[in-house]
Amino acid sequence: MSKSRLHPARKLIALGPSGPALLAEAVITLIRIRLGLTFSSLTRVQAGFLPAATLTRHLPPDALEQIAWSTRNMARLVPGASCLTQGLALQALLHRRSVASELKLGVRRDGPDGLAAHAWVVVDGRVVIGGAVRDLAPFAPIAGFGSGQK
């Protein structure tokens, strides 16, 4: 069984001794970003959480998955933590660890009269939060916001 398919209790144990700190960091970041998006603009939130820097560190896949898992699961505790909030929070957590990422925003036609929007985060060409690649296929990317990308 792969680590991403572990029962949530086992996944929590797999986070190790630093797990509680990571979960706390994730939920605090989610709350701050959610409030920022409520009372400010995306541009200002990004400027506050993603200061200009050249980020060159690469995390092992397990560490990257732990941070993404923590973000997804702690988002359940934050009312209104949309895909955009989760994506920005993950980007901020990765930025703090000197890992470059890209937040992508996309839209798809949602019925005859509307559009649906979605956000996801890509690290080293891999989607780490926001759904599986097959789920993202209907979304046409309209913007990408890099964090420390060369």
| pLDDT, tens digit, 9 for 90 and up, residues 70-99 | 999 999 999 999 999 999 999 999 999 999
pLDDT of 149 over the 80 cut = no
- What does the alpha-carbon distance between residue 33 and residue 49 come to, in Å, rounded to a whole number? 8
pLDDT at 81: 96
What's the mean pLDDT in 86-113? 92
What predicted TM-score, i.e. pTM, was given to this entire model? 0.85
Quick: pLDDT tens for 47-61.
Answer: 888 888 778 888 998
Residue 104 Cα to chain centre, angstroms: 10
